[in-house]
Chains A and B, each alone.
Chain A
Amino acid sequence: AQKVTQAQTEISVVEKEDVTLDCVYETRDTTYYLFWYKQPPSGELVFLIRRNSFDEQNEISGRYSWNFQKSTSSFNFTITASQVVDSAVYFCALSEARDDKIIFGKGTRLHILP
């Protein structure tokens, strides 16, 4: 069975600090896809990144970076030099290649304090 665990329910950091959101997943498939979504206070989920199981290269996009490690079944998300606008709920998600559905973790609520 597939599962996504985000152990951090809520995190608060001061602006300009770096913060890492953890994500651990479980799947029996060798081909799968991992995602991160951001949910700002407005409610809509915004797609941030997709990573397939064959690509373990880390990804960097501006202040955002993602560390995918198959050996530990983790797909962690780091925000560098955090800003107040980064305050949101962040969801990690998993989709197996044979399935059209995406399974979401319970989310991590991130507070960036000015």
Chain B
Amino acid sequence: DGGITQSPKYLFRKEGQNVTLSCEQNLNHDAMYWYRQDPGQGLRLIYYSQIVNDFQKGDIAEGYSVSREKKESFPLTVTSAQKNPTAFYLCASQTQGKANYGYTFGSGTRLTVV
């Protein structure tokens, strides 16, 4: 079945460490997105990519980095520069230029700083 796979489901990070969240899709979608969800804050866009080897910052990109070397993969690195990384992270995808049909979401990664 086609879909988006996020891993791991739960992730713990020590302060000062970088961690990478995985997002893989087999939907042949061109565009991929990373959102952060905090209680009561809704979903906020971190980064998005509309094509391989290209990506754009969203509203809260500071302290995060991404890469898009393959169409299927869009990993997110939470760097030590992100001061408050504890949150729920959601990856989404869609066919290029078809934002209007809505996203397909992964099941999320819950990151906790310990």
Q: How far is the CA of A102 from the CA of B50 in the complex (A)?
A: 13
Q: How far is the CA of A44 from the CA of B102 in the complex (A)?
A: 14
Q: A87-107: contact bitstring with B at CB < 8 Å (1 yes, 0 no)?
A: 000010001010111101111
Contact A44 B107 (CB under 8 A): yes
Contact B100 A106 (CB under 8 A): no
The minimal Cβ–Cβ distance linking B100 to chain A, given in whole angstroms, is 4
Among B37-45, B60-68, B70-78, which stretch is in contact with chain A?
Answer: B37-45
Q: How far is the CA of A95 from the CA of B108 in the complex (A)?
A: 22
Contact A42 B107 (CB under 8 A): yes
Assuming A33-B100, A50-B100, is B106 touching A107 (CB within 8 A)? Answer: no
B38 to A, closest residue via Cβ? A106
- Residues in chain A near residue B2, CB distance under 8 A: none
Interface size on B, residues (CB 8 A): 28
Determine the interface band of chain A, counting residues with CB < 8 A from chain B.
20 to 34
Q: Classify the interface of chain A: helix, strand, loop or mixed.
A: loop
Contact A100 B97 (CB under 8 A): yes
- Residues in chain B near residue A45, CB distance under 8 A: 90, 92, 103, 105
Contact B107 A43 (CB under 8 A): yes
Contact A43 B42 (CB under 8 A): no
Which of B31, B101, B108 is close to A44, meaning CB atoms less than 8 Å apart?
B108
- Residues in chain A near residue B48, CB distance under 8 A: 100-101
Assuming A105-B42, A107-B42, is B99 touching A100 (CB within 8 A)? Answer: yes
Which of A43, A46, A101, A106 is close to B45, meaning CB atoms less than 8 Å apart?
A101
The minimal Cβ–Cβ distance linking B68 to chain A, given in whole angstroms, is 14
